[in-house]
A and B are shown apart, each in its own frame.
Chain A
Amino acid sequence: MATSSETPTISLREAADLLGGDALFLDVREQGEWDLGHVPDAVHIPLGLMEDRVADELPDREREVVVYCAHGRRSLAALATLRALGYERSRHLTDGFEEWEKSGFPVVVPSTLEPDQRRRYSRHLLIPELGEAGQRRLLEARVLLIGAGGLGSPASLYLAAAGIGTLGIVDDDVVDESNLQRQIAHSTHRLGDPKVESARDTLTALNPDVKVKAFNERLSSENIDRILAEGWDVIVDGADNFPTRYLVNDASVWHGIPVVHGSIYRFDGQATVFQPGAGPCYRCLFPTPPPPELAPSCAEGGVLGVLPGVIGSLQANEAIKLVAGIGDPLVGRLLLFDALSATFTEVALRRDPDCPVCGEHPTVTEYIDYAEFCAAR
């Protein structure tokens, strides 16, 4: 029988030689550390739970045990507990797991994705910038779509396919025949149905991982705070009128939620990201809506059916980047797309210190319900 005078430490190399044998590796770090990676086949008992759980997890006190933590301090405390409980053949890894990992010894990262999710999102998991951690962020994300129309259709389809965990959709409209030339979340057999219900069925059929929260109501100063209070990481603005654009902007500044903005007209589209604090807001660009007589009539204007597909997809791209925390979002940049010449042009957007909402001395401090003057129905 081993005695307590036997050296209680073990080096990285010696420990690695024990992998795959009878020795048991015991990880005493916290859950969040364990989740990021651990020694293959290790048993996990956080240091604070050692005395409660070690007898159940390690019934054989004669077994060789290698206990480790991040840097070798907690494992030293755990070693004292183990030896006091009679685990005479326990040793601790003095260099700790961080050195183990840096030295290139085997590490496994426990998966929190279900097997069917690993298959569904396999093409995301293969991208180093996303991987499992990125996919988990998408699955935990909450994105609110304003409008389930031309822009909202492609944006919501791609966000659902990507596995955004919760999608909110605000729209009070019903599916009309004239929508189907471009609003690809809806189908001929849904004519007359509320768009939020039609979209919810399409999106959950595409991906059952996605929870769709439907708001079958028109966004107004009365309901916007209630809807935003449900907590959203990103707003995708695909509204079809100026009053809603300004409501969404002012609310996003006050609630501190980034807005992925898109708009379309005939062959021309534009997209940008308004991120409160980091860049300009919509009112930095256009402090007030144009007077009704000068505003283009959306209904008369028309739109090429594929155009919202381009712009809405760009919006989904920006929303995914914001949620995953990757890449350079379109903050302070407005991307203009001309479908006829097939060209993208970028212009710089700057924060306006005199902006009536996000400027140094704001003059707009409560919601304004501008008169409706562009109902694209």
Chain B
Amino acid sequence: MPATAHVRSRRLCFVIFASALLIGATMLPASAQKLSGNIRFTWWGSTTRNDKTERIIKLFEAANPGVTVTREPGEFNSYWDKLTVQSASGNQPCSITMQSRYLAQYADPAILKPLDDLVKAGTLDVRGVAPAVVDSGRGPDGKLYFIPSGVFYFTVLMNKTEIEKAGLQLPDDNWTWDDYASFARKLAAKLPSGTYATGNFGEAFDAFTNWVQGRGEVLFKPDGTIGVSKATIVDYFKYWEALRKDGITQPADKMAEIANNIIDDTLLAKGRIVMDARPANQLDAHQKVLNNAMPGQELVLHTYPLGPKGTGNDIGSNGFAIGASCDAASTRIAAAWSNFFLQDAQAAAIYLSDNGVVTVDKFRQDQGSNPKATPGQRQLISLYDRVAPTAKAAYFRARGYAAMQQSLTSAYQSVAFGRSLPEDAADALLRQVARQTKD
């Protein structure tokens, strides 16, 4: 009968069409599926970074209605203890900001989810990130535990204006630590009293790392034992003692008093120190304060001096980890969040490499060549391109970073205040690190 045949064929069309739709729908990438639920996201930072993060979260929530992100900002110092305590009771958040220097303590599937499978499946999107950079998120067991979103490195911040006023020129990239010392001395001779040529790096951990690596040593060997030798530490202390005693650096009590994480207080930002050891992404913050204190002076980034075995540049990364206690649905949200932060152009434009040079190459190039970029941003990225190829990421075993950093401060302070000799302080440093990292 012609009528029923017609209906049947229409029905068939419909079925074929519907099946096609269904099959097509299941082949859509995960990010296009409707996500809903809540995840907790924790990070550290100043009020500026908190604001930026807040704006990006709002964008993400707008793009994914049905998803909410519980904000859990904190301050850096207590961040790691809090994470440890939370992890101990299985209470860690789903999306965790992680850092390469602290990773070893948490690189355990019981604490953080290994992410290799998610990357392979495309759930986690790492397009545009160099494989070597991705690898910085791997733990000692080789598993990937976080997706790096920002790379940080360390520099000497210099007051170019003061240097040129003293009749000197900015040093080149191939200078050595001896060059540094003589440069500082020449500078000091021309500076007014109360202004110091260089900060005292004796307790500056980043400078110490650079010194150690420049001599071909490592802070921690891959097996977790201490790699730095006593002689290296002694030489480091003696180097800075020589400069301090001659007044090339600020006095010991000023060094101990000023908390270097408060930029407004630092002598560099007040124009009282010409060269100081600072993370590379802090130039703009220092410049802002300096503009008030000493208008017209310009800060520039500079690489550390070379050691006898070449460059000692250290490099590290921050990124997104996923908590082990995160269930499947939340994991998808956490992955989507990580992808959004990493790959969304608007997000990158807001964040502007606040927590390290952005790892997606395209954004980095854009930010570097953006005419509206601040001097700090521009130098951050151009220097990165010069530093990254030869930098060596210092390996830190569990609790190693905190142990080394505290022991260095303690040891050098006792030298600088005349309470112990460099040799004894070096011994004390090594013993303290060993004690604090005992398993």
Mutual binders A and B: no
